[in-house]
Structure 1
Amino acid sequence: MRQSTAPATTTKHMTNAPLAHRRRSSSTSRDVLPRGSSASAMPTFAMLQQMDDVLSGAAAKADAAVAAAPLKARRGTKRRVAEGAVQAVITGIIIAIVLTPVMIGFATMIYGHPEFESVMPMLTKLIFVSSVAHQLVITVLSPLPFAIAQTQDAGLIFLSSMAVSIMTELGPTVPMAERIATVVVHLSICASLVGIGLMVLGRMRLASFVQYLPTPVIGGYLAFIGFFMVKGGLTLMTGANLSGGIGAWAQLLTVHNLALLAPGAICGVLLVAVTARFQHFAVFPCCLVLMPVLFFIALWTTGHSMEDARAYGYFSPDTTTISLVEVYKLFDFSSIHWEVMFPRQLPTLLSMFLVIAFASSLDIASICMGTSSAMDYNEQLRTVGACNLASGLVGGYTGSYIFSQTVFSYRFHPAQLEEEYPGFSRLVGLTLALCELAIAMTPFSLTTVVPKFLFGSVMIFIGVDLLKTWLFEVYTKLLMAEYATVLATFIFLNMFGVQLGLAAGIALAAACFLVEYSRTQAVRVVQKSSNVIRNADQHELLYSHVSESAPVSLSSSSLSSSRHAALLRAHPIVTFELHGHIFFGSATRIQKCVKRAVYVRPPRKPRKETYESEERLPLLGGGGSTSNGSTDSVGIKVSDVSKLVSLAGKPCPDRYRGRTRFVVFNFAQVTGMDATAARTCFLPLKVLFRRHKIAVVYCGMSAGVEFLLRANDVLPGSQTEEDSPNLCHITSDLDLALDWCEQQIILSAARKKSFESGRSLQALLPMATQELSVAQVCHAFISPERRFAVATRTAIGQVAELFTTERWQPHDRIFSIEDDADKWYILLRGQVTLYTRQESSNSVGSPLADHLTTPSSHRRHRAAAQHGQHWVDGSFDCELVGRVRAGCIFGDMDYVLRQSRSIDAVCTAPDTVTAVISRQRVDELISSRPEIACVLQEVVLRASYMTLAEKLHSIVV
């Protein structure tokens, strides 16, 4: 029984063992076999027992290795976490080394008044507390765990201006403690109010509005900050007060001050050159560490002590122990003079809020580009607002993201651990905050142990960089007018102060914008025709009117190609497309353009030399003809009368051009208008047009534009006014305006032709309710040379029998896009409108949905309703292709090209009647009666080319 059990046990181990173990067991079995026995012999019990022991040991080693693997992985993870933590801490320390002299320089700038010198060590600690508050809030709330936020330079000028203003206004009669308390409390309140304002701005999602501040003005302000920092660095190193104008700078020329300035100035310039030459991240902090080391080495080699250097002015005077408790004793609310705070400082506070909001938006945008991150501007404005609110509550100052240090932190934070442990990189910000808190809690001022020229050189470095960027390098990135605005704003800030300087810069930028905007093309002259597809009779009437000055003679039956070209150049309708906001600056330009494009007959004034050269009596009449033309009974040359001049008084260079009869103003692209433009531009033009009997059509107006034109007597205010409806017309869109003008031309031509031929007006222009016959329509499209031939009449009669009649009601679709084009139509009565479809702007998810609230979109939908566009699906917008009138052919293009329908045809008039012919019948006609098919093809061909000839008018001139 035991011999039968052993193989089973061995088999179990071999079954559960991996392949490597199985190979090992086979080799082991060969080793344990007695010599002289074969491997194929039956194994004994001892042999199997040895095999079992070997396999058990191998399995135990494998289990031990598996158990040891997690332990090794855990050790590796701990090591990676430790290395990442060290990397984050070092990054935070490097940033603290870089920012420490900057923060001390900022404190010097804010409290630049000489009377702050006695408490400057205490006030310097406040700026570090402020930076701690900014950094902690950003570290907790920012979506970028490595983000850096500190007290920023954007608000320093305003903070300094308010501090100096309060100290000056209170004067020496107020105790020093009360003045300092008023200043520090006021600056803290302002920081909190700026924070609340930024949070409200972000909450209302108005971040885009703060970007309306002109960039040249902000550039001039940043250049002024650079100049202010250079001046602050010089003041920090020498203790000289440079706020007294240019004369105050002369005190820097003493030997003592030059000796104090030399190390800082040299180091500042070297920092600019070295950081520009070497882009490595360690260059700047190494320079900051190296500068005091070299200074102390120089002291040691020259045999001077630190006290000697302090006595000369390289260090601040040694002070007693300073604690944060003593710093916050400055906030004595019982001795605050509220009357000098509000409302006197409100203009400065409002200016500071706008500039900080704009600067924060720029910082957020720069950080998004520098770190390839996506952040919501409005949400980040709320975060920056929370920073400023927290800073104000602890007695600090305004601040925001620091772009350069955030990008530095992004490059050197532990990114791999951040992916594995989200939020791990916040250790960078925490380290920076702890370093700054440690500096704030030190019982001494850093300037007592670190030479002042170190902080002064950093301020000079930052100031020179700002000046170089915004006064010199920006020259190649701005227009000349914008660059002039940068320079002017910089000069204004130095001459008039912060509030008046910024106001003057913004006013100059606005004036430059008005000048440039007034030079843009607010008006464009176009030559267009309506989208109406007219029958042959109306086409002939529309293009058979002859300008009084055009030397073109027309037969009543036809228009040759040259005559037709001449008539196209007659331009009885002049269309002006207006763009943008029409204001007083662009009104003069529009008026000049209109006067140059509109041509009229000159006034009938006899030429003086005619009477001097010839004497004629009215009763004798006649008079000889001249080479220039005939003369009338009073001696006025007819050719001179027929010549055209523009409203600007210039003669017309085109001898084929006719008198302007209609002027169309298209306001579809106008965003607004002021009353000055309405009265100084369009009202004088109205008087000119009425004097020369020119009809004016206004189309595409928004409600505001129409109100201004009516209020300023450009449009008739009521139906009872004296303006003739034939001289002033209003439509919703350009197509309806052009259609009205063309209808007036057709009606005028029909009346003239009726008078000359003796035919009734109804015969020339049938009523809209009259149903035409197929033969009548086809006959009108035949060329005049063959129109009255007997064979042609017979062929037309046979062709008419091939058509079938269909009746339609409004909103019926005659055919749709993608339908088979196996037939074409003749409209016998009513109206059919042709559309193309595109994705609607009001469909869900459409990128055009934001434009639904614009005036132009409302006008477009209102115009579509007037054209009968009620049937379409809400997910599509329809563009008008043409409006087919009775006696016209449609649907022939896709039929001839043998393609699917590319447009929609919709009935837009009651009791519409169409005649239709299928491809099958046309093919049968071509095979059986080709001579009759040729007549039908001529009809289709001439109808298509008439439509094409009308489209030649839609050319921008």
Structure 2
Amino acid sequence: MQFPAWFSTITAGVLLGTLLSIFSVSLTSLIFVGPLATELPRGIAMALVTVSISSLSITFFSKNRGIIAGLQDSPLVVMATSISAITATLTTPDTAMPTVLTLIALTTFLNGLILILLGRFKLGILVRYLPYPVIGGFMAGTGIMLLLGGIGTMVDHNLSAGNLVRLFAGNELKVWLPGVLFGLILFIGTRQIRHSLALPGLLLTEGIIFYLLLRYSDISVQNAADSGLLLGDVNLAAGWPFINPTHFFSARWDIIQGQLGNIGAVLIITPISLLLNLSGIEMSERKDMDLNHELQAAGKTNMLSALAGGMIGFHSLGTTSLGRDMTVSRTRVLGIIVGIMPLLILFFGRSLLFFVPKAILGGLLIFQGIVFLYNWLIKKWSSLPLADYGMITIIGLAIMATNFMTGIVLGFVVMMFTFVISYSRTDIFYRKLSGAELTSNVLRSSRERKQLVRLGWHTHVLELHGFIFFGTANAILNELQSRLRASLPLRYLIIDFRRVTGVDSSAAFCFTRILYLADSLHFTVILSSLSPQLKQQMLHNGIRPNEKSLNFASDLDRALSWCEDALLESDSGPQENLALPLQLLAKGFKREQIRLLKSYLQKSTLDSKELLVRQGESSDSVYFVESGQISIYLQSGNQHPVRLQTICVGTMIGEVGYCLNVPRTATIVADTDTVVYRLTKDSMQAIQKEEPLLAESIKDLMLRVIAERLVTANRQLLASSR
């Protein structure tokens, strides 16, 4: 039978509103216990107001339909530890309540403000960068505290290490053991029965069982209430308004100041819990949510709740999922009905609350605690590394032994310590090569290339990557010392920073030690690809270029080129420029061919930085470089030109565009005063017609130049893949 959409919406709203109200009453009993037990009616009323405001506000503030909100367990558990500390000092309700109510209102209001600011400045995503074990440890700690709080609710006193033994006394055991059994039944039942009505049905069944046991034990309802087995008579109107200005003046602010750590923990935990819930809702609904908008919606909700005397509330994952399963369509009416139900209970449900068993309220808390522990301790055992699982366990136990803030701080400290150790083990070297294996983009003569194969082993190249800090910087020094023990003496050390994201001050000290070695062992250090920030940091730490041991290079290619020039000069002295005829003669041209070719060439002299060819121009000529040096640059959009190659004397340029008859593929600029000879397309056509043998020699030269550049490119590619 298919019910109308409105019928399913109303039914789900009434059921979910009632369920949220019962759950909120159980959470409130975490706070109003022990010395504050007589104030439980006020706490119940505050919880019902919180559920109503949360559900109604989120219904209208959220961009998503069908979202249900209510009082949340995680921040309330932390708040309960603060209030327990307050009641340990202020032992009577009359002295404690102003401070307790002020603490609740202040924490709720600040929490709303923080959520609004996180959403307004789009910082919600930052919470997702928190270490997973810290979040897991907090969740496990919440589960432990919910378990203890559930038992404390039933025995009417806060649990501590000193009074745990009392739980096994005959009278107290009878009070809390049924609640533990009820919690286990809820946990097992909801896992076995995958239905939206499983939890409400189990709660109703447990209520029936409870009253059957009372009847079997021949205990009247009134006697059960007098014995503390039922909530009993709760005057929900007592204490309204919940908080007023006199509470602020009567509060012990010195005691509240002592709870700043726990208040801070709530302000950290609430965004984490909210974003975890939102992530779960995204997965359940299979659509993305505007997290920053939802943070602001939750912030406004909490500020309204604080002003009305309520507590912290926001989007509920479990209730929202139940609402989706129970309704035909997604509508805001569902949230409105859920928000109205707590108000109906507040004003008309006093007689009904009288019959609610404390064992069921405690069982609900124990059920929630078991769910937390199952999800974050039992299920994670097989899916997490042992170190992360151990961290979750340690944080959870630390929270139980001390408080939430101490546990979270401990988690962060240990996580930072383990991160430093783990990151220190990562390899900060992207590549480690010699100058014989990795050469610059300078196109050199075959004699010079052979020299560099022999001399390149005197150059050591270290390409770094990642963040360099005290834990990883020492690896650079160890690598250098290993290289210094090699048989070939080190003359140049290139350290490239193109892939480095940052360097801390202790790492900068490591580079200072490297310079001390360079001074004493007579090798030169070249730091290449330094960003402006890194360069400024090096200069600030006294690492400055000098003629003896340190140079800076704009990129790795220029650093390699500088080292190659220095090695070649030290090996055979400065290279003399040969005239073009002698260069062509060395390339296999005959003297008569050279004499004929010169008659077709046009000589040009370029100043340093003068443009020879512009990318995109028509390719109507090739050039022979007689003296000087030129570089080829590739321009891509508005980006800075990339140097592809540097060419010295004795070679040809512009052959690619000429042979393919396409526009110039790159820009060519003179690095120094340069002399070139130009061979136009018209002249080449004339040579082909008049001197075919010379034309063949020119084509052979073009093929050799293209082949040499292909070999160089392959060698660079091979080195890059290492």
Q: TM-score, normalised by structure 1?
A: 0.69
What does 1:340-489 align with in structure 2 at a 5 Å threshold?
340-341=254-255, 343-415=257-329, 425-442=331-348, 444=350, 448-489=354-395
2:62 aligned residue: 142
Please give the alpha-carbon distance, in whole angstroms, between the structure 1 residues aligned to 2:275 and 2:658.
Answer: 58
Counterpart of 1:903 in 2: which secondary structure? coil
Please, which runs of 5 or more residues in structure 2 have no aligned partner? Answer: none
Is 1:687 matched with 2:498? Answer: no
Indicate conservation of the 8 Å contact 1:808/1:907, yes or no.
no
Cα pair 1:836 1:902 within 8 Å, conserved: no
- Partner Cα separation in structure 2 for residue 801 and residue 403 of structure 1: 87
SS in 2 for 1:729: strand
The answer to whether the 8 Å contact 2:657/2:664 transfers is: yes
What is the CA–CA distance in structure 2 between the aligned matches of 1:673 and 1:332, rounded to whole Å? 55
Amino acid at match of 1:406: T
Q: Could you tell me how far apart the structure 1 residues matched to 2:704 and 2:109 are? A: 78
Q: Once structures 1 and 2 are overlaid, which stretch shifts more, 881-890 or 799-808?
A: 799-808
Change (3 A) 1:236 1:325: closer
Q: Output the CA distance in 2 between the equivalents of 1:346 and 1:482.
A: 29
Look up the match of 2:451. Answer: 544
- Name stretches of at least 5 consecutive residues in structure 1 with no aligned partner: 1-79, 419-424, 546-563, 600-644, 647-651, 653-657, 717-722, 752-760, 767-771, 839-872
| Equivalent residue, structure 2, for 1:904 | 666
Partner residue in 1 for 2:493? 663
The answer to whether the 8 Å contact 1:683/1:714 transfers is yes
CA 1:363–1:914: 2 relative to 1, 3 Å: farther
C-alpha deviations, 1:583-624, integer Å up to 9, x for none? 11112222112222x24xxxxxxxxxxxxxxxxxxxxxxxxx
Q: State the SS of the aligned residue for 1:544.
A: helix
Equivalent position amino acid for 1:541 in 2: E
For the structure 1 residues 813 and 388, does the alpha-carbon distance in structure 2 shift closer, same or farther, using more than 3 Å as the test? farther
CA contact (8 A) 2:18 2:341 kept: no
- Tell me the amino acid that sits aligned with residue 218 of structure 1: I
Query: % of aligned pairs identical?
Result: 22
- The 5 Å alignment of 1:83-162 reads 83-112=4-33, 114-162=34-82
Write the mapping of 1:785-804 to structure 2, written as runs, cut at 5 A.
787=588, 792-804=590-602
Aligned 8 A contact 2:30 2:152 in 1: no
Distance 1:321 1:535 in 2: 95
Residue correspondence of structure 1 range 143-182 to structure 2 within 5 A: 143-169=63-89, 171-172=90-91, 176-182=93-99
The match for 1:578 among 451, 460, 464 is 464
Q: CA deviation at 1:881?
A: 1.6
CA deviation after TM superposition for structure 1 residue 279, in Å: 2.1
**Structure 1 equivalent of residue 623 of structure 2:** 825
Higher Rg:
1
Q: Specify the alignment match of 1:882 in structure 2.
A: 645
Cα deviation code 1:280-333 (max 9, x no counterpart) = 2122222122221233344446655323443554313x3364415546378742
SS of alignment partner, residue 30 of structure 2: helix
| 1:252 and 2:167 are equivalent in the alignment | yes
Structure 1 counterpart of 2:534: 705
Paired residues of 1:527 and 1:956 also in contact (CA < 8 A): no
TM-aligned CA deviation for residue 947 of structure 1: 3.9
Structure 1 CA distance for aligned equivalents of residues 433 and 19 of structure 2: 62
2:613 pairs with 809, 814, 838, which one?
Answer: 814
* Change in 2 beyond 3 A, CA 1:793/1:495: farther
1:143 counterpart letter in structure 2: K
Aligned partners of 1:542 and 1:749 also within 8 Å: no
Q: How far did 1:748 drift?
A: 1.6
Corresponding residue for 1:591? 477
| C-alpha contact 2:634 2:667 (8 A) present in aligned 1 | no
Classify the secondary structure of the residue corresponding to 2:466: strand
Residue 430 of structure 1 deviates from its aligned partner by 0.7
Higher relative CO (CA 8 A, sep ≥ 6), structure 1 or 2? Answer: 2
Residue matched to 1:510: 416
- AA aligned opposite 1:884: I
TM-aligned CA deviation for residue 883 of structure 1? 2.7
> How many angstroms apart in 1 are the aligned matches of 2:460 and 2:673?
35
The partner residue of 2:142 within 197, 208, 225 is 225
**8 Å CA contact retained: 2:32, 2:39:** no
Give SS of 1:213's match: coil
Structure 1 698/199 Cα, relative in aligned 2: closer, same or farther at 3 Å?
A: same
Which digits, 9 at most, give the CA deviation of each residue in 1:360-379, with x for residues without a partner? 22323332332233333222
Partner Cα distance (1:923, 1:278) in 2 = 89
CA contact (8 A) 1:832 1:907 kept: yes
Work out the CA distance in 1 between the residues paired with 2:234 and 2:67.
36
2:221: which partner in 1? Answer: 306
Q: Where does residue 64 of structure 1 map in the other structure?
A: none
Task: Assess, with a 3 A threshold, how the Cα gap between structure 1 residues 342 and 889 changes in structure 2: closer, same or farther.
Answer: farther
AA at the equivalent of 2:38? S
User: Aligned partner of 1:887: which letter?
Assistant: G
Give 1:231 shift: 1.3
Match of 1:35 in 2: none
The residue type paired with residue 666 of structure 1 is D
- What whole-Å deviation, never above 9, does each CA across 1:776-815 have from its counterpart, x for those lacking one? 44334x2xxxx5xxx7333344344444556778574725
What is the alpha-carbon distance in structure 2 between the residues aligned to residue 813 and residue 152 of structure 1? 72
Shift of the alpha carbon at 1:129?
Answer: 0.8
Verify the 8 A CA contact 1:541 1:750 in the aligned structure 2: no
Give, as a single letter, the amino acid of the residue that structure 2 aligns with 1:154. S
Question: Is 1:490 matched with 2:396?
Answer: yes
- Tell me how far 1:256 sits from its aligned partner: 3.7
Correspondence for 2:705: 943
Deviation at 1:127, TM superposition (A): 1.2
Asked if 2 retains the 8 angstrom alpha-carbon contact of 1:532 and 1:885, the reply is no
In structure 2, distance between residues paired with 1:155 and 1:111: 15
Q: How does 1:191-270 map to 2 (within 5 A)?
A: 191-239=108-156, 241-243=158-160, 245=161, 248-270=163-185
Q: 2:706 & 2:548 partners in 1: Cα distance?
A: 32
Alpha-carbon separation, structure 2, partners of 1:401 and 1:178: 34
**1:508: how far off?**
0.4
* Cα separation, 1, equivalents of 2:428 and 2:419: 14
1:891 to 654, 659, 671: 654
Question: Equivalent residue for 1:765?
Answer: 576
1:111 and 1:164 in contact (8 A); partners too: no
CA contact (8 A) 1:667 1:700 kept: yes
| Contact 2:264 2:405 (8 Å CA) reproduced | no
Amino acid at match of 1:775: P
User: Hey, what does 1:715 align to over in structure 2?
Assistant: 544
Check the 8 A contact 1:523/1:593 in 2, yes or no: no
Q: Is the 8 A contact 2:439 2:560 kept in 1?
A: yes
* 1:738 matches 2:560: yes
How far residue 522 of structure 1 moved from its aligned partner, in angstroms, is 1.6
Contact 1:526 1:955 (8 Å CA) reproduced: no
1:280 counterpart = 2:195: yes
Deviation digits for residues 19-74 of structure 1 (CA, Å, limit 9, x no counterpart): xxxxxxxxxxxxxxxxxxxxxxxxxxxxxxxxxxxxxxxxxxxxxxxxxxxxxxxx
Match of 1:676 in 2: 506
Assess if the C-alpha contact under 8 Å between 2:632 and 2:646 holds in 1. Answer: yes
- Contact 1:830-1:910 within 8 A present in 2 as well: yes
Equivalent pairs counted in the alignment come to 714
Whether the 8 Å CA contact 1:185–1:331 is kept in 2: the answer is no
Look up the SS of the partner of 1:571 in the other structure.
helix
Q: Distance in 2 between matches of 1:307 and 1:742?
A: 98
Instruction: Read off the aligned partner of 1:167 and give its amino acid letter.
Output: T
Q: Which residue of structure 1 aligns with residue 632 of structure 2?
A: 834
**Residue type of the partner of 2:506?**
T
1-structure distance, mates of 2:536, 2:190: 61
